[in-house]
Amino acid sequence: MIEKFADEALIEVSAGSGGNGCVAFRREKYVPLGGPSGGDGGRGGSIIFEVRRNLRTLAHLRYKQSFKAENGRDGEGAQRYGRNGGDAVIAVPPGTILKDADTGEIIRDFGSQEGSFLFLKGGNGGWGNIHFKSSINQAPRRALPGQRGETRRLRVELQILADIGLVGFPNAGKSSLLDRFTNARPKIAPYPFTTKIPNLGVLALGSTRRDEPGDRDIILADIPGLIEGASGGAGLGIRFLKHISRTAALAFLIDLSQDNYLEAFDILYKELETFSPELVEKKRILVGTKTDLERTAERLEELRAACPGETLLGISVFSGEGLPELAAELGRLAVGTAETGWKTEDKEA
């Protein structure tokens, strides 16, 4: 399953070379000594990156790693110009970053923007000999070759775009929450590391105010569970931590049925801080999960006392307890509005 999700690719791109200019002369029955008539070569095709919202990964760049635009055609006699080469258009998903493969320099960060980016312009076509005619040289036998197209090696990286990132240990209930809140259908099973790739889902929120009828959608990102030592490479989560770097806020899910419920937040916090101090500066909420189980009500209060100053909610995906309140809080963190309601009527039974 990991192989189907690709968030990095190494590719080589080459702009097309321009066509060569032509050396030719006008030769007709009654014009035996006509002047130069060599046309210009065509321009080479360019390398263009285009953001496509229907793409979610870079898997298509794993199968095709070399992209070359067409060369321009050579010029011909009778002042016929060569045809321009076709462009090579490379589709990428939103959140893509282009880097120089050798230096690591960021060339373009697409973020959430749409549109096209002309990366390498094709080589200009060479001039034909018609351009070199002068008063002292009526029959020039000179033409210019086309300009060579440039070749570059690129590292393409993807950082998925989401409003809220779900963070927690394996089996903390992240995938179950995503399944309950959204139309995403992540794999759910009672064993660790069920989630091996990031999953996205759209949480539909509707205003609870009569004078504010508009709906709001926020995107939730579920990444593989973290374990202690993840920032040093342990487990699967470290590979995908970059995917929550663009989120507006984080939700730390803490399994109240586990014995480490009091230390869980501190461990997760330290792992994120070691990976990137910017992650722990984001807005956040703590979510105690599985409140339908025995003794979790007391543990929720103990966790609240152990984390003063933190916003903490208790939920049960099984019973639905606390889910409307959590949806409203996630909406506030993502879009800055507190009066939002989870559109439960859109959820499947």
**Rounded Cα–Cα distance for residues 130 and 139 (Å):** 9
Contact call for residues 326 and 249 (beta carbons, < 8 A) = no
Binding-site residue positions for Mg(2+): 175, 195
Contact call for residues 13 and 90 (beta carbons, < 8 A) = yes
Helices (H), 250-319: 264-275, 296-306
**Rounded Cα–Cα distance for residues 225 and 172 (Å):** 8
Q: Angle at the Cα of 145 (from 139 to 148), degrees rounded to 5?
A: 165
**Rounded Cα–Cα distance for residues 15 and 95 (Å):** 24
Contact call for residues 19 and 75 (beta carbons, < 8 A) = yes
- Both tokens of residue 339? 């009066």
- Both tokens of residue 208? 């609870």
- 284: which strand partners? 250
Binding-site residue positions for GTP: 168-175, 193-197, 222-225, 289-292, 316-318
Binding-site residue positions: 168-175, 193-197, 222-225, 289-292, 316-318
- Nearest in space to 84 (alpha carbons), one of 123, 137, 34: 123
Q: Tell me which amino acid residue 185 is.
A: R
